Amino acid sequence: MGFSAVNPVVDNIVITPAFMPDISVKDFADAMKLDGTVTPARMKYALTDSANSVCRELKAWTDNALHQHGSLTLEDYDLTNDTDKCFSFQKAVYNLAKAQLTEHYRDYDTGKDATARTKELTPQIDTCYRNARNAIADIKDEPHSTIELI
């Protein structure tokens, strides 16, 4: 995603359900190499949507962690079980949000190179979605892919 520096990214916090860690817009922008071209408000919206999606998908796993392990937060779970699921949660939310932003921004180009630019960004979007799926699988302790013989 070719962004140029326009406005500095101010920090804002996306509040997640009590068990999950909150997400920083500035940390997201820094980690995913975004700058002021995408406004902090759009980043926050994409992060909120992504966090909600990831939390919904992890609902059963979260309920189990709360019930079986007695962990009050994902950070507590990590400390108790010597895991790094907070990082995986962040990775899932960040990649899902970046995929959404890239999809929305790629259709703004109306010049003759718009089709080529769209094709260039498709693999990046697919990679972000795959990274998000893999991070969710890491949290659930599931394999990254399922292979069936036909």
Residue 107: its pLDDT value, please? Answer: 58
Mean pLDDT by 10 residues, the chain (150 residues): 58 91 94 84 95 96 89 91 96 97 72 65 90 96 80
Helices (H), 33-113: 40-57, 59-64, 74-81, 85-105
Element (H, E) at 136: helix 114-140
Q: CB count, 10 Å around CB of 71?
A: 18
- What pTM does this model have? 0.85
Which residues neighbour 79 within 8 Å (Cβ) at sequence distance 6 or greater? none
CA distance 21 to 74: 7
Residue 25: its pLDDT value, please? Answer: 94
Please provide the size of the chain in residues. 150
Residue 4: its pLDDT value, please? Answer: 46
Secondary structure of residue 99 in the 3-state scheme: helix
Residue 110: its pLDDT value, please? Answer: 55
The owner of tokens 């359900």 is 17
Rounded to a whole number, what is the distance in angstroms from the first to the last CA of the chain? 38
Torsion of CA 1, 86, 49, 70, to 10 degrees: 170
Q: Smallest Cα–Cα separation from 98: which of 135, 62, 131?
A: 131
CA distance 111 to 88: 38
Q: Are 11 and 18 in contact (CB under 8 A)?
A: no
Give 16's DSSP letter. -
